[in-house]
Copies of this chain bind each other. A is one copy, B any other.
């Protein structure tokens, strides 16, 4: 079966700083039409960074949509035309003050594929050097450091609720299991 849905009409609802909203009329595989509500986002990057002390750097920040403080790996939006790996290095240094010279791609993921095209590239960073923190004006965060041997316990605690962070830490457990 050809699962493709062709857009036959676009209605632009909102153009914002972070997201745009459109409603499309689409033709379904059986020829009927339906509506799709679509949130467009420029994409984001995230970094699972391991310090020379074998600690993972996590960021605590208030997330307005869920109205709670969440614990996440450092991450941020792509700037216009920015290369993903460069964005990842920039966000890591801005949020944590650490510089990563080499990044390894863990995976790319869509967090909400049903309504949003936001794609997050998740990187692993080792061999960190000291750089300079530089937060955005509207960014307020606290850093936490978790030793690799405590990652399994952190995952089991259900304290983590952010998809990219769960993926990155499960990846560490699967690939660096001498720390378990």
Interface residues of A (CB under 8 A from B): 1, 3-5, 7, 13-14, 16-19, 21, 23-24, 26, 28-30, 32, 34-41, 44, 60-67, 69-70, 72, 77, 107-120, 137-138, 140-142, 158, 160-164, 166-167, 170-171, 173-174
Contacts and interface: CB of A to CB of B under 8 A. Distances in A.
A21 B13 contact: yes
Contact of A163 (B29, B66, B167): B167
Contacts of A40: 65
Contacts of A44: 114
Contacts of A37: 16-19
Given A66-B110, A112-B118, A115-B65, A174 B163 contact: no
20 contacts: A1-B140, A3-B60, A3-B62, A3-B141, A5-B62, A5-B64, A13-B13, A21-B39, A36-B65, A39-B115, A39-B116, A65-B113, A107-B166, A109-B166, A110-B163, A111-B163, A113-B162, A115-B118, A120-B163, A163-B164
